[in-house]
């Protein structure tokens, strides 16, 4: 029986994957880096420590990883304060599931970004636990962020259902032993192998209902 739901953030509740990508690519061009076509896919799901190090070492940005991290976060915060790109149906999906289960959030975003988004969207009151991958040893696809979210909720991972959109996110939740509900990101869809790890695949947040959670639990 499911006793807790853990949501991803970027690409699932927030139409933000391309904003992260654009901010990092722009910074790379401005600071001597060599952007390449696999950079976005490589960094998707990485913690801030991991992707800022990647930009310094692999992309060749001259700034230190700490400086890269701070500048990208600053740019994202400015964009979100101007217009928060909340995905249609996100608020309703969160409220709908919060009526039945305690909710957690397992995100690759930095802690300041998570807190700002939940404040601007007025969704923080629905989440009993939120975890940034910068607060655990490894980012997605490692299971660390989902395991920590379950621990903070006080629910064993096999009693949790995770809601994800990306290949690394799906792998992370599956590795944590959770039932996985996938709502594939249309711009950056998960690969076939990741989709096959999901217990239920939905087309949109509108389909994320208690019944869909039950189907995922039965399939897990």
Domain borders along the chain are 4-15+85-219, 17-82
pTM above threshold 0.85: yes
Q: One digit per residue, pLDDT tens: the chain, 220 residues?
A: 899 999 999 999 999 988 998 999 999 999 999 999 889 888 987 888 999 999 999 999 999 999 999 999 999 999 999 999 999 999 999 999 999 999 999 999 999 999 999 999 999 999 999 999 999 999 999 999 999 999 999 999 999 999 999 999 999 999 999 999 999 998 889 999 999 999 999 999 999 999 999 999 888 7
Element (H, E) at 200: strand 200-201
Contacts of 196 (CB under 8 A, 6+ apart): none
Q: What tokens appear for 180 in the block?
A: 């996985």
Q: What tokens appear for 12 in the block?
A: 């699932």
Q: How far is CA 55 from the centre of its chain?
A: 19
CB 78 within 8 A of CB 116: no
CA separation for the pair 140, 172 (Å, rounded): 5
- Residues carrying an active site annotation: 8, 10
| CATH number for the domain whose boundaries are 17-82 | 1.10.150
Q: What tokens appear for 153 in the block?
A: 């909720």
For the chain, strand residue ranges (E) read 4-7, 103-107, 127-132, 160-164, 179-182, 200-201
User: In CATH, which superfamily holds the domain spanning 4-15+85-219?
Assistant: HAD superfamily/HAD-like (3.40.50.1000)
């Amino acid at each position: 029986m499911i006793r807790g739901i853990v949501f991803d953030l970027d690409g699932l509740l927030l139409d933000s994957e391309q904003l992260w990508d654009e901010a990092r690519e722009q910074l790379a061009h401005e600071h001597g880096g060599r952007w390449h076509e696999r950079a976005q896919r490589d960094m998707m799901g990485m913690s801030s420590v991991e992707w800022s190090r990647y930009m310094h070492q692999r992309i060749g940005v001259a700034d230190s990883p700490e400086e890269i991290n701070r500048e990208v976060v600053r740019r994202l915060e400015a964009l979100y304060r101007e217009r928060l790109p909340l995905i249609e149906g996100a608020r309703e999906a969160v409220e709908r599931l919060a009526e039945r289960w305690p909710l957690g959030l397992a995100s690759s975003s930095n802690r300041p970004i998570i807190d700002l988004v939940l404040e601007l969207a007025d969704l923080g009151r629905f989440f009993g636990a939120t975890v940034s991958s910068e607060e655990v040893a490894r980012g997605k696809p490692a299971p660390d962020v989902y395991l920590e979210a379950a621990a903070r909720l006080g629910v064993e991972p096999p009693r949790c259902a995770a809601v994800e959109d990306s290949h690394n996110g799906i792998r992370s939740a599956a590795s944590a032993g959770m039932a996985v509900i996938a709502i594939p990101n249309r711009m950056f869809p998960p690969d076939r192998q990741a989709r096959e790890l999901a217990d239920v695949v939905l087309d949109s947040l509108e389909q994320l209902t208690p019944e869909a959670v039950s189907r995922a639990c039965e399939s897990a």
